[in-house]
Amino acid sequence: MPSKGETEDAQQEKKAGLYNALIQGLQLDPNRFQLISPATPVGNTSDKIWNFFDSIPPRTLAYHFDEAGENRFYDTYAEVINRLQPPSDDAFEEAVGDYIDEWKKYLKKLKPAPTIEQLPGVFRDWAAANHPEIAEAGTQALEQLVNDPLLQAQEQVRDKSHFIRNTPDFSSTIEDLRNGISRAQGAKITFDSATAKTDVRKTWASGEFGVFYFIFGGGGGGWSKVSETFASSNVTVECTFGHVMTLPGRPGRWYNSAALSRAYSTEDNTVWKPGKPSWNSTFGPKGDMQRFCTDLIVVDGIECTVTSDAIYSQKDRERFESDGDIGIWPFFFGNVEGGSSTKTSVTSEGHLKAVTTSPEGNPLIIGCNVTQVKDFFG
């Protein structure tokens, strides 16, 4: 019986080998690709895929995705934008001079209050009727002020009109995904743990895998005897995908790239107000905004066979029968809507065989391309 350490090493080697097989078979970039577990149906509305784009990925090659995860792009971005110093209005006050209080009183009476974009026009009309000598200079100063990216960003981030179920919008929709996946080419991956390349040190996460369940998608693998037996055996994976596509996703109308770029490029208090979030807590070595999911890797039309040459007991066979239908390593999608299914069996020799199928028309998200913060503003 292998020790816990030996089993863990065997698991890590199989995870690394599978990662390299995906990179080769699907022509992915090891400097960016992150495997997402479990493989997730895209659903029927755009918020399902936006939720992935809104999740800030951890520094791991495989990511056990949690829809209620704490580190969210929109939430972190909103906190940062509202912490930044707005531009000075000294030039406008200098242009308006003694009439500044009169202008502010007039502005307070307006119902509804004008938007930032409307302010220069409102001021021009008010000044032309009351103090024409300040109309031109005041309007120009106000236009420069309100066109500052930070003020625009602080107003944009409050606009949730394009959200779905409180999920912030991104550029790609469910229609884009379904239209694109139907035209995408297919691919195949082949993995044999006896011959697989397991060196992942030169990947973007330097080989770190994080939480990545082994054997059963429900997290039942752990250090159970079944998991140990599977890890110590020779495992093969053969998957055919009818279609594979890369779906890009840029933040929606709530986002202002110029404002966040200013926050990233300036660390001092000329931009950041004192307190948190700060530049260091956001972009520093342990900051909340280190990486972004900028593309989703989507597959459709799947047939995947996993085998293990170990000898499994009758109790293990019962475990496969009870847990196998919730999904098995490496993609962990079981019997779901649309005809997707996982069927596990043990051969007469006692070996494990699991066949997972998903007919075309049921796209699954299996990963994302991660962009580091230093490259995000390029």
**pLDDT for 347 beyond 90:** no
Cα Rg, the chain, nearest whole Å: 27
pLDDT at 2: 59
Q: How confident is the model at residue 221 (pLDDT cuts 50, 70, 90)?
A: very low
pLDDT at 11: 83
pLDDT at 234: 94
**pLDDT for 202 beyond 90:** yes
pLDDT digits (tens, 9 = 90+) for 287-323: 999 999 999 999 999 999 999 998 887 777 777 776 6
**pLDDT for 147 beyond 90:** no
Q: How confident is the model at residue 85 (pLDDT cuts 50, 70, 90)?
A: confident
Average pLDDT of every residue of the chain: 88
Percentage of the chain modeled with pLDDT above 90:
63
Q: How confident is the model at residue 5 (pLDDT cuts 50, 70, 90)?
A: low
The better pLDDT of the pair 324, 157 is held by: 157
Length, in residues, of the chain = 378
pLDDT at 223: 41
Residue ranges of domains in the chain: 4-80+162-376, 88-147
Contacts 24+ apart (CB under 8 A), 13-17: 13/193, 13/196, 13/198, 14/193, 14/196, 14/214, 14/231, 14/235, 15/61, 15/62, 15/209, 15/212, 15/214, 16/196, 16/198, 16/199, 16/200, 16/207, 16/209, 17/191, 17/193, 17/196, 17/197, 17/198
Mean pLDDT of 184-199: 96
pLDDT at 210: 72
Q: How confident is the model at residue 219 (pLDDT cuts 50, 70, 90)?
A: very low
Q: How far apart are CA 62 and CA 42, in angstroms?
A: 19
The better pLDDT of the pair 66, 239 is held by: 239
In the 8-state DSSP scheme, what is residue 132?
A: G
pLDDT at 215: 66
**pLDDT for 227 beyond 80:** no
pLDDT at 213: 59
Q: What is the pTM of this model?
A: 0.87
